[in-house]
Structure 1
Amino acid sequence: MKFIHTADWQLGMTRHFLSGEAQPRFSGARLDAVRRIGELAVEEGCEFVLVCGDVFESNQIDRQVLVRALDAMASTPQVTFYLLPGNHDPLDAASIYRSNTFTLNKPDNVAVLDESGSISVAERIELVAAPWMSKRPLRDLVDESCANLEPSSALRIVAGHGALDSRSPDADNPALITLARLEERIEAEELHYVALGDRHSTTNEGTSGRVWYSGAPEPTDYDEIDPGNVLVIELEPGKIEVRAHRVGTWTFKRHESHLASDADIDALEDWLASLADKERTIVKLSAIGQISVAQRARLDRLLEMQTDLLAAFEPWERRTDLVVIPDDADFEALGLSGFAHEALCDLRDAASSGDDQEALAARDGLALLHRLSGTAQ
């Protein structure tokens, strides 16, 4: 028996650093991933797709996103999608799963796991669901869903969402999922696979090889270790095979650049040029070091060009410490006279006065003079 384990689609997600047409492309890629998951399920001969929470970014997403998501799942009618409400889209009074739009547009191959406990989904195959009914549960929902399981010869797959107690620094959180209890149930053959959502990085938990976070099918942030995957699970009594399949198309990258010379700027330029699929790449840059005014002008021009090419280009402010040191050669190369030369002298004096806001603004002004004069390399 094969199925696909996925989670954290968070359809309708927005990112503050995406502007212009980048945000629609980001949103479109998440919907495209849903179609690819259905197509992969058909190719692999999977019986169903299990989505373990946070299918939607919230219960208040745009109607168009919801309708298009349901249409994407309907495009592979031979595959059933089981949707588990998570902390982003809990089954509360305002639940998106109870909205008229969802009810009227839900295709026959989409089912919501809206009750805690076991349901039969095929011959000798059971799903043990642990849906979120609110954003802040006060108990281990997964353990509760398994509490009253009767002895069975069926293969049992848990669908859960949330943080494991083995990972969380908040030991007092009553909603943490108890890993040791899951491993005990696996050892006793009460459970055969635990499919989890919430962690966006594909992760094998515990020692049994049967407790997994699938990760998000499209990356959502810089801290994710191995996002962009879904898991194809092949399960039979006494045997399991877990294979990760890449479906994501976006990339988040952090880069630290130490700058002290033109060669260092060359290296940064080469790294940026090496990035593939720039329109789906988001970069956060840390710049550290000391450069001249002319080098700062060159750097500004490089970063301006990359801002136009990349989906988003952000300064990594907490890790940035770039000092501009005015150099005599910077000013001689300008060849300014009259009023412009007087302004240059004023900026030079201000730039050398320390590291206060006025000095920083003066250094920015000197870099701009280089760019406007056409002497920046």
Structure 2
Amino acid sequence: MRFVASADWQLGMTAHYLDDDARPRFQRARLDAVRRLGELATERDAEFVVVCGDVFESNQLDRAIVAQTFEVLRGFSVPVVLLPGNHDALDAASIYDSPAFATSPRQVHVLRDSHVFEVVPGAQLVGAPWFSKSPQTDLVAQACAPLGPTPPGIVRVLVGHGAVSTLNPDREAPDTIDVAGLRAALDAGRADVVVLGDRHSTIEVDERVWYCGTPEVTARREVDPGNALVIDVDPDTRALSVEKVHIGRWAFLTVEETLASRADVDELAARLDRIASKDTTAVWLALSGTLDTAAKAHLDDLVDRAGDLFAKLDYWRREMHLAVLPDENDFADLELSGFAREALDELVSTATSPGPQAGHAQDALGLLYRFAGGEA
């Protein structure tokens, strides 16, 4: 029995951190990733697709997003099973109960409870849907508890969402998924494999317990996003194989560099130039070192110009440890006088003194250098 597992589509997410012109492309890319999941299922002769929670960004979405989702899902040649997660929980305002959802394609199914669901002959799904954003119990363990051994010739998949005990920093949280309990249930034959959502990176928790990851990257902290899982389970021997398939097109990168000269800035420019598919790549710069004002102005000019090509290119302010120390030659050729000269002297003094205003003064010096005609 072969199926495709995915999670955390979060369709409708705003992606506020992207530039205005990139945001619509990113939203479209998430739907395109869903389309590729359907194509993957067809190419691999999968029997069904299961989505392990957070299909939608929230329960309050424009109906157009739901309609666009259904238009894509109508192209799937196999059943698609959706699990409500923390973003789209089965609460009183659930998107799954909205009028927009009434037009869902016939091959779309929602796991609204933990009853055994025969998605296709020979394959059972047991879901652990979320009914609120803050469940007070391990929903996966609760779903698994009443199960008996999987019948001969049947493949049973446990579908959940949330943080597992081996990865969750808050192991005392009541909704933490107990990995030891999952292993015991799997060893007892109550399920063949567990697929999970919530972590946006693809993670093998156990050889039989997997986070699918999001099919399209959503944040720079994600280690291995943009994947789907193609899973094979032999209904007779219970042998399991899991293949990770990359389907994402976007990339979120953190570029770390230590800079000490204009030549280093040029090296950074060359590194950025080598990045392919700039219009689908967001870059955060984490820079350290020391530059003079002229080199920092050159860097700012680089970021401004390259930013026109990338979906996003900006400094990661929290990880910026770049000092700007004015050099006596930085402003020698600018021939400043009067008020401008007084402002320059005050900025230089502030920029080279300890205190919270030094960084602001350094930024202002860079602007002054560029506006006054310094070569960038």
Where on the TM-score scale, by shorter chain, does this alignment land: which range?
over 0.9
What is the CA distance between 1:178 and its match in structure 2? Answer: 1.1
1:313-328 maps to which residues of 2 (within 5 A)? 313-328=313-328
Larger deviation, residues 362-371 vs 268-277: 362-371
* C-alpha distance in 2 between matches for 1:365 and 1:195: 52
1:160-191 residue CA offsets vs partner (Å, 9 max, x unmatched):
11111121121221111111111112222221
2:345 counterpart of 1:348: yes
Q: Which residue pairs with 1:179 in the alignment?
A: 179
Q: Which residue pairs with 2:374 in the alignment?
A: 375
Residue from 80, 98, 111 that aligns with 2:109: 111
What is the CA distance between 1:360 and its match in structure 2? Answer: 4.5
% of aligned pairs identical?
Answer: 45
What is the CA distance between 1:63 and its match in structure 2? Answer: 1.2
Contact 2:262–2:298 under 8 Å retained in 1: no
* C-alpha distance in 1 between matches for 2:356 and 2:129: 52
Task: Give the RMSD, CA atoms, in angstroms.
Answer: 1.7
Larger deviation, residues 344-353 vs 137-146: 344-353
* C-alpha distance in 2 between matches for 1:73 and 1:315: 38
Q: Which residue pairs with 2:363 in the alignment?
A: 364
Q: Which residue pairs with 2:259 in the alignment?
A: 259
Residue from 217, 231, 234 that aligns with 1:233: 231
* C-alpha distance in 1 between matches for 2:40 and 2:287: 41
Question: For residue 173 of structure 1, what is the amino acid of its counterpart?
Answer: A
Q: Which residue pairs with 2:129 in the alignment?
A: 131
Question: For residue 145 of structure 2, what is the amino acid of its counterpart?
Answer: A
Q: Which residue pairs with 1:145 in the alignment?
A: 143
1:5-44 maps to which residues of 2 (within 5 A)? 5-44=5-44
Question: For residue 229 of structure 1, what is the amino acid of its counterpart?
Answer: N
SS at match of 2:304: helix
What is the CA distance between 1:34 and its match in structure 2? Answer: 0.8
What is the CA distance between 1:300 and its match in structure 2? Answer: 1.1
* C-alpha distance in 2 between matches for 1:337 and 1:157: 73
Q: Which residue pairs with 1:243 in the alignment?
A: 243
Greater percentage in helix: 1
Normalised by the length of structure 1, the TM-score is 0.93
Question: For residue 118 of structure 1, what is the amino acid of its counterpart?
Answer: V
SS at match of 1:65: helix
Contact 2:79–2:119 under 8 Å retained in 1: no
What is the CA distance between 1:321 and its match in structure 2? Answer: 2.2
Contact 2:347–2:364 under 8 Å retained in 1: no
Question: For residue 94 of structure 1, what is the amino acid of its counterpart?
Answer: A
Contact 2:157–2:193 under 8 Å retained in 1: yes
* C-alpha distance in 2 between matches for 1:93 and 1:362: 52
What is the CA distance between 1:121 and its match in structure 2? Answer: 2.0
Contact 1:295–1:376 under 8 Å retained in 2: no
* C-alpha distance in 2 between matches for 1:347 and 1:356: 18
SS at match of 2:131: coil
Q: Which residue pairs with 1:305 in the alignment?
A: 305
Q: Gaps (5+ residues) in structure 2?
A: none
Question: For residue 348 of structure 2, what is the amino acid of its counterpart?
Answer: A
Contact 1:260–1:290 under 8 Å retained in 2: yes
SS at match of 1:328: coil
1:277-288 maps to which residues of 2 (within 5 A)? 277-288=277-288
1:250-291 residue CA offsets vs partner (Å, 9 max, x unmatched):
111112221111221122111111111111111111222221
Normalised by the length of structure 2, the TM-score is 0.94
Contact 1:8–1:216 under 8 Å retained in 2: yes
SS at match of 2:273: helix
TM-aligned CA distance change 1:359 to 1:6, over 3 Å: closer
1:205-246 residue CA offsets vs partner (Å, 9 max, x unmatched):
12xx11100100001111111000000011113311111111
